[in-house]
Structure 1
Amino acid sequence: MSEFKHISVQEVADDTSAYTVVDIRDPQSFALGHMPKAVHLSNDNFATFLQTTPKHQPVVVVCYHGISSQRAAQVIVSQGFDTVFSMDGGFEAWKLAQPVVTD
């Protein structure tokens, strides 16, 4: 079975359009601020995500600090996705140096 990979905030920021970014934090935290173009991913929409996201599309999983995203990334890999990353430092690291949106 494939393994997920680690990716830095800067690598994602350098080319955000290359990735589908999924944010697994709670809905309230996501609403208060998230990465541009990030999609909130929860148990409620996970099946839809699996059905609508091409398996060859690189996916970056984001949580608060880069810990729970590792487990979620492994779950996504196990669903047949080719390239899945856990973003080191999570959203807390992202917001220190990158733009945050609240749409």
Structure 2
Amino acid sequence: MELLIITIIVLLGFWLYRFFKTRKILTTLTEEEFRQGYRKAQLIDVREPKEFKGGHILGARNIPLSQLNHRLIEVRKDQPVYLYCQSGARSARAAAVLHKKGYRDLNQLKGGFKHWGGKIKQG
């Protein structure tokens, strides 16, 4: 029983650490805030290509989280980066990868693509 309690405490501590670290390196924007800035930034959809082809925010580039480390040269450090995925989990992981590589102006769409009400492009 003690081992279970210790395990739960450790997992909770790890989750809290990741949660607050992510909040420190990544700004989560409402849809309206996201719309105001994404045209002046690098808009990156970190979902997989099949998801991207099913519909994406107009003007977005598809750099899947699974390929991000190999495609960092495509992302400039001197411009804001606006990330989104389906719900927000992958964009947070992408932000952590980018932050480790020296990127600082990192933003994500609150709730991800599934909450986007703006223009989208199919294909």
| TM-score range for the pair, normalised by the shorter chain length | 0.7 to 0.9
1:60-102 residue CA offsets vs partner (Å, 9 max, x unmatched) = 11111112211111111111112011221100011xx211012
Residue 122 (structure 2) pairs with residue 102 (structure 1): yes
CA distance in 1, matches of 2:88, 2:67: 22
How many positions carry a matched residue from both structures? 100
Q: Percent identity?
A: 25
Residue 61 (structure 2) pairs with residue 39 (structure 1): yes
Unpaired runs of at least 5, structure 1: none
Residue 82 of structure 1 aligns to a residue in which SS?
A: coil
Residue 92 of structure 1 aligns to a residue in which SS?
A: helix
Displacement over 6 Å in runs of 4+: none
Unpaired runs of at least 5, structure 2: 1-20
Match of 1:21 in 2: 43
Residue 33 (structure 2) pairs with residue 11 (structure 1): yes
Structure with max Cα Rg: 2
Larger RCO of the pair (alpha carbons < 8 Å, separation 6+): 1
